[in-house]
Structure 1
Amino acid sequence: MDFYIAHRLPGRVRLRYERNLLVPAQATVVQTLVSMQEGIDSVTVNPVSGSILIEYSGIEENRALAFVRALNDSYLEDKELLVQVGAVEVRESLFQSISVLLLRFLVKKILPLPIPLRAIMSFFTIAPRVQKGINALCAGKPFCADTLDASALALSFFSGNLNTANTIAMFLNMGDILEDYTRRKSYENLTQSFLNTQETVQLLKDGNESSVSISVLQTGDIVIVRSNSVIPADGTVVSGEAAVNQAAMTGESLPVQKTAGSSVFASTIVEEGELHIQIKACGRETRVSKIASMIDRMQSLKAASQIRSERTADKLVFYNFLLAGLTYAFTRDFIKASSTLLVDYSCAMKLSAPVCVLAAMKSCADAGITVKGGKFLEDFARADTIVFDKTGTLTESSPKVKRIIPFGGKTEREILKIAACLEEHFPHSLARAVVKEASERGINHREEHTKVSYILAHGLVSTLKKDALRIGSAHFIFDDEKIPKTPEVERAEAELAQTGCSQLYLAINDSLAGIIAVEDPVRAEAKEVVQELYALGVKDIIMLTGDGPETARTIAGKAGIRTYEAQALPDTKAEFIKKLKKEGRTVVMIGDGINDSPALSAADVGIAMAQASSIASETADILLPADGLRSLPLLRIIAQNLIKRIQVNNGVIIGVNSALIAGELTGVLSSTAAAFLHNGSTIAVGMSAMRPMDTV
Structure 2
Amino acid sequence: MQVSVKHSLPGRLRLLYDKNEYTSKQALLAQTLITVQEGILDTNCNTNIGSFLIYYDTHIVKENDVLNLFHALTGKYLEDPELLKNVDQIPETESIESVLIETLAIHYLKKWFLPLPVRTLLLWKSLLERCFHVLSKFAESKRLFSTELLDATAITVATLTGNKNTASQINLLLNIGEEIEEITKRNSYGNLAQSLLSADEPVQVVEGMDEKTVPASALKKDDVVVIRQSGLIPADGQILDGEGMVNQSSITGESIPIAKKAGDSVFAGTVLEEGEIYIKVVQTGKETKVQKIIDMIDNSQSLKAAAQQRSELIAEKVVPFNFLVTAATWFFTRNIVKTMATLMVDYSCAMKLSAPIAVLSAMKESATKGITVKGGKYLEEAALSKIVVLDKTGTLTYANPVLEKIYAMEGFTEDEVLTIAACLEEHYPHPLGRAVVRAASEKNLVHPENHTKVEYIVAHGIASTLNGKKVRIGSAHFIFEDEKIPCPESLAEIKKQSSLEGYSLLYLSHDGILVGVIAIGDPARPGTSEVIRELKNLGLEECIMITGDTEGAASKIAAECGIKKWISQALPEDKVKFIEDEKAKGHKVIMMGDGINDAPALSAATVGVAVEGCCSIAGETADIQLQKSGLDNLVTVRRLGMGLLEKINENNLTIVGVNSALMLLGIFGVISPQMAAILHNGTTVAISIRSMQPILK
Q: Retained in 2: the 8 A contact 1:266–1:288? A: no
CA–CA separation in structure 2 for the residues paired with 1:299 and 1:250: 34
Post-superposition offset of 1:342: 1.4
In the superposition, the TM-score normalised over structure 2's length comes to 0.70
CA–CA separation in structure 2 for the residues paired with 1:568 and 1:199: 35
Post-superposition offset of 1:105: 0.8
Pairing 1:330-409 to 2, within 5 Å after superposition: 330-390=332-392, 392-397=394-399
CA–CA separation in structure 2 for the residues paired with 1:166 and 1:247: 66
1:96 alignment counterpart: 98
Pairing 1:113-124 to 2, within 5 Å after superposition: 113-114=115-116, 116-124=117-125
What code does the residue aligned with 1:376 have?
Answer: Y
Structure 1 residues 305-314 or 249-258, which shifts more? 249-258
The structure 2 residue matched to 1:29, chosen from 1, 26, 29, is 26
| Other structure's SS at 2:636 match | helix
Structure 1 residues 134-143 or 346-355, which shifts more? 134-143
The structure 1 residue matched to 2:657, chosen from 655, 671, 678, is 655
Change (3 A) 1:94 1:234: farther
1:419 alignment counterpart: none
Pairing 1:291-690 to 2, within 5 Å after superposition: 291-390=293-392, 392-397=394-399, 441-444=474-477, 496=497, 500-501=501-502, 520-544=522-546, 555-565=557-567, 570-612=572-614, 614-690=616-692
What code does the residue aligned with 2:591 have?
Answer: M
Change (3 A) 1:285 1:262: farther
What code does the residue aligned with 1:328 have?
Answer: W
CA–CA separation in structure 2 for the residues paired with 1:518 and 1:64: 44
Post-superposition offset of 1:93: 4.1
CA–CA separation in structure 1 for the residues paired with 2:272 and 2:595: 23
| Other structure's SS at 2:563 match | coil
| Other structure's SS at 1:302 match | coil
Change (3 A) 1:502 1:284: closer
Q: Deviation digits for residues 275-321 of structure 1, max 9, x if unmatched?
A: 78887877741679744433432332111111111111111212111
Q: Deviation digits for residues 622-664 of structure 1, max 9, x if unmatched?
A: 2334524221211111111111111111112222222222222
Q: Retained in 2: the 8 A contact 1:136–1:147? A: no
| Other structure's SS at 1:340 match | helix
Structure 1 residues 208-217 or 615-624, which shifts more? 208-217
Q: Retained in 1: the 8 A contact 2:250–2:394? A: no
| Other structure's SS at 1:589 match | strand
The structure 2 residue matched to 1:53, chosen from 39, 50, 54, is 50
Change (3 A) 1:250 1:295: farther
What code does the residue aligned with 2:50 have?
Answer: L
CA–CA separation in structure 1 for the residues paired with 2:371 and 2:274: 27
Q: Retained in 1: the 8 A contact 2:342–2:663? A: yes
Gaps of 5+ in 2: 9-13, 57-61, 408-457, 463-472, 482-491, 506-518
1:105 alignment counterpart: 107
Q: Deviation digits for residues 459-502 of structure 1, max 9, x if unmatched?
A: xxxxxxxxxxxxxxxxxxxxxxxxxxxxxxxx989x95996548
CA–CA separation in structure 2 for the residues paired with 1:664 and 1:85: 53
Structure 1 residues 622-631 or 547-556, which shifts more? 547-556
| Other structure's SS at 2:631 match | helix
Q: Deviation digits for residues 13-43 of structure 1, max 9, x if unmatched?
A: 46475xxx88xxx663365347744799555
CA–CA separation in structure 2 for the residues paired with 1:266 and 1:543: 26
Q: Retained in 2: the 8 A contact 1:251–1:613? A: no
| Other structure's SS at 1:522 match | coil
| Other structure's SS at 2:343 match | coil
Q: Retained in 2: the 8 A contact 1:251–1:612? A: no
The structure 2 residue matched to 1:179, chosen from 178, 181, 192, is 181
Q: CA RMSD in A?
A: 5.1
1:137 alignment counterpart: 138
CA–CA separation in structure 2 for the residues paired with 1:55 and 1:618: 32
CA–CA separation in structure 2 for the residues paired with 1:314 and 1:226: 60
CA–CA separation in structure 2 for the residues paired with 1:251 and 1:390: 8
CA–CA separation in structure 2 for the residues paired with 1:225 and 1:398: 20
Post-superposition offset of 1:376: 1.6
Q: Deviation digits for residues 494-540 of structure 1, max 9, x if unmatched?
A: x9599654899xxxxxxxxxxxx995533433311111111111223
Q: Retained in 1: the 8 A contact 2:201–2:215? A: yes
Post-superposition offset of 1:676: 1.7
Q: Retained in 2: the 8 A contact 1:244–1:257? A: yes
Gaps of 5+ in 1: 47-51, 406-434, 449-490, 505-516
Pairing 1:8-27 to 2, within 5 Å after superposition: 11=14, 13=16, 15=18, 17=20
Post-superposition offset of 1:126: 3.2
In the superposition, the TM-score normalised over structure 1's length comes to 0.70
Structure 1 residues 33-42 or 535-544, which shifts more? 33-42
Post-superposition offset of 1:392: 4.9
What code does the residue aligned with 1:635 have?
Answer: V
| Other structure's SS at 2:683 match | helix
1:432 alignment counterpart: none
Q: Retained in 2: the 8 A contact 1:532–1:633? A: yes
Change (3 A) 1:160 1:626: same
Q: Retained in 2: the 8 A contact 1:522–1:559? A: yes
| Other structure's SS at 1:141 match | coil
Q: Retained in 2: the 8 A contact 1:250–1:613? A: no
2:693 alignment counterpart: 691
Q: Retained in 2: the 8 A contact 1:250–1:614? A: no
Calculate percent identity across the aligned residue pairs: 41
1:162 alignment counterpart: 164
Q: How many residues align?
A: 602
Post-superposition offset of 1:101: 1.1
Q: Retained in 2: the 8 A contact 1:252–1:611? A: no
Q: Retained in 2: the 8 A contact 1:247–1:611? A: no
Structure 1 residues 566-575 or 617-626, which shifts more? 566-575
| Other structure's SS at 1:299 match | helix
CA–CA separation in structure 2 for the residues paired with 1:292 and 1:213: 21
Q: Deviation digits for residues 117-159 of structure 1, max 9, x if unmatched?
A: 2210111233322221122233312222222222222222222
Q: Retained in 1: the 8 A contact 2:30–2:78? A: no
| Other structure's SS at 1:386 match | strand
What code does the residue aligned with 1:314 have?
Answer: E
